[in-house]
């Protein structure tokens, strides 16, 4: 470390105080993401976004964040992790304020992109700072578990706060709640967090940044285009996909050939590191779309108010928080390999249960699924420990960037791929109903875009049977998507079991 305030010199008390600040900032960002799920139906009624715009409102944050993680971690290693973190807090706050001027779906997408810039500064920095301020492996594992547990609590607080706000205020409040929380984070971080830099930062490389960002954008655009057209015969999408493959391939090969790369892809030579990344990527791919669809199902099909929806999603977050704290201790007894693979499999079973529910889907069955999925999400804290302990300290920023990239890319791809599948199935089921086909075009067109629009149009036109038809179609598409996600998670569990070596522990360098 080049800074005088070396993290290793910190007292244990200050290290845990710093962890509290870092975890609290994660709470805000996670809460913001779950609040959005609650606010989407209300936002859709006000702004009337198209199906593609709705996906972009959800996805653009993660896309920008993931695209900038490499650059952000490199800047933090050189400029200082604390400086970049506090700057990220400020960007997040300013972007949230701008929602006061948003009167179209396009403006909301732009604001979400700005939030992604702030998130890119915050997310990897919190992980890399925890990696550097704790020298004891057990304390570091517990700190990372707390970090993950707070994410679970954010998932619980988000829907509740969002529900309370939307009961009395407009959807704009879902963004504005970030502002005072980020102001507090800036003040607390300035006093409690130490500054740290990498003593061996990789060489600054603009081509690497351009390749990673452009490759991911092209990849996402192609997937969305295929989903929107409901066909693989889309030349422009194939062209974008080809560009993505070329850009990302060159990106990886460039990193492997450089003596001092900005992003050390050679970290994947560590099997525990690779297993942790695979767990994060595969799990988020499967869960992101299914949980997004579930929030919409509770409001648009079950008729729950925003605050009631928040309460109904609490089992997921509480299970995740509890599992995050228990997983490291369990991993010390039976090994992180068994804990990580089993937890992912449990989540897969939970998602599959939504599809296998006999008869009409009801909330009681959903609760069981939420608890199982939450337990699996929480146990990913063990994967985080494997990722961070499987990398040298001077590459903590790289490891954090890769972990956050795996979470965000998995989430974005999951929403794009599984969300598109759900949309295609939803429209196909609607079109197959004769009574729906006989309705006027000004009614069927918005109803085909989303379940929220269908319910809204049905109420305005006085056609309650349209809402029932759309509800059945959406439920069927959500159940099938959950099955696909569950199968993916079970496959990821097998992959993690095979990749992580037997006898792996949470101790750095012990695997």
DSSP secondary-structure letter at 195?
A: P
Residue pair 452/40 in contact by the 8 Å Cβ criterion? yes
Residue in 414, 485, 488, 449 with CA at minimum distance from that of residue 63: 414
CA dihedral angle for residue 260, residue 267, residue 485, residue 245, rounded to 10 degrees: 40
CA distance 254 to 207: 9
Is this model's pTM higher than 0.85 or not? no
Only one residue has tokens 């994660």, namely 26
CA dihedral angle for residue 238, residue 242, residue 244, residue 246, rounded to 10 degrees: 180
Q: Residue 311 has which token pair?
A: 């309460």
**21, 78, 129, 332, 502 from 328: Cα distances, Å:** 21, 32, 19, 6, 17
Write the CB contacts of 154 (distance below 8 Å, at least 6 apart in sequence): 26, 27, 28, 29, 30, 31, 34, 317
> What string of pLDDT tens digits covers the 511 residues of the chain?
444 344 445 677 777 888 888 887 777 777 776 677 667 777 887 888 877 787 778 778 877 877 788 788 888 887 888 899 999 999 999 999 998 888 788 898 999 999 989 988 887 788 778 877 777 777 777 787 777 777 666 665 676 777 777 777 788 887 888 888 888 888 888 888 888 776 666 667 788 888 888 887 787 777 767 766 766 778 888 998 999 999 989 988 887 887 777 777 777 888 888 888 888 888 777 777 777 778 788 888 888 876 777 778 778 877 877 887 788 788 888 888 888 899 889 988 988 988 888 778 888 888 888 888 888 777 777 877 787 766 666 676 677 777 777 777 777 677 777 877 888 888 888 877 777 767 777 777 777 777 877 877 777 777 878 888 888 888 888 888 889 888 988 999 999 899 888 877 766 554 4
């Amino acid at each position: 470390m080049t800074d005088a305030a070396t993290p290793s010199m910190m007292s244990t008390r200050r290290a845990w105080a710093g962890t509290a600040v870092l975890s609290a900032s994660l709470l805000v960002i996670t809460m913001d993401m779950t609040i959005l799920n609650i606010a989407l139906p209300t936002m859709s009624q006000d702004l009337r976004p198209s199906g593609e715009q709705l996906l972009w409102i959800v996805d653009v944050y993660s896309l920008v964040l993931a695209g900038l993680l490499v650059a952000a971690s490199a800047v933090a290693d050189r400029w200082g992790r604390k400086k970049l973190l506090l700057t990220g807090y400020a960007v997040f706050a300013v972007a949230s304020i701008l929602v006061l001027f948003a009167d179209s779906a396009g403006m909301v997408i732009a604001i979400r992109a700005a939030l992604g810039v702030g998130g890119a500064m915050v997310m990897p920095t919190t992980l890399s700072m925890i990696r550097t301020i704790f020298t004891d492996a057990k304390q570091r594992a517990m700190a990372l578990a707390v970090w993950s547990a707070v994410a679970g609590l954010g998932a619980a607080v988000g829907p509740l706060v969002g529900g309370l706000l939307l009961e009395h205020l407009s959807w704009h409040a879902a963004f504005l709640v970030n502002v005072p929380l980020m102001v507090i984070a800036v003040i607390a971080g300035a006093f409690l967090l130490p500054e740290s830099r990498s003593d061996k930062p990789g060489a600054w490389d603009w081509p690497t940044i351009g390749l990673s960002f452009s490759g991911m954008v092209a990849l996402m655009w192609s997937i969305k285009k295929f989903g929107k057209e409901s066909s693989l015969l889309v030349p422009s999408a194939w062209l974008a996909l080809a560009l993505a493959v070329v850009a990302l391939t060159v990106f990886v090969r460039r990193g492997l050939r450089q003596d001092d790369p900005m992003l050390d892809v050679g970290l994947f030579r560590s099997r525990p590191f690779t297993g942790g990344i695979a767990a994060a990527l595969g799990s988020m791919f499967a869960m992101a779309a299914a949980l997004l669809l579930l929030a919409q199902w509770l409001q648009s099909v079950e008729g729950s108010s925003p605050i009631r929806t928040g309460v109904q999603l609490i089992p997921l977050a509480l299970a995740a928080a509890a599992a995050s704290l228990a997983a490291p201790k369990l991993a010390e007894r039976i090994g992180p390999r068994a804990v990580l693979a089993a937890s992912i499999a449990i989540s897969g079973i939970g998602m599959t249960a939504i599809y296998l529910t006999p008869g009409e889907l009801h909330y009681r069955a959903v609760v069981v699924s939420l608890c199982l999925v939450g337990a699996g999400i929480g146990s990913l804290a063990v994967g985080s420990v494997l990722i961070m302990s499987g990398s040298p300290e001077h590459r903590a920023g790289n490891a954090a960037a890769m972990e956050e990239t795996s979470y965000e890319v998995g989430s974005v791809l999951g929403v794009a791929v599984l969300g598109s599948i759900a949309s295609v199935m939803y429209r196909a089921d609607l079109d197959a109903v004769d009574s729906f086909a006989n309705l006027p075009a000004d009614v069927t067109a918005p109803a085909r875009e989303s379940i929220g629009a269908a319910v809204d149009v049905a109420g305005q036109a006085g056609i309650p049977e349209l809402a029932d038809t759309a509800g059945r179609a959406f439920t069927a598409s959500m159940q099938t998507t959950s099955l696909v996600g569950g199968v993916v998670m079970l496959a990821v569990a097998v992959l993690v079991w095979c990749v992580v070596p037997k006898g792996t522990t949470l101790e750095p360098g012990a695997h």
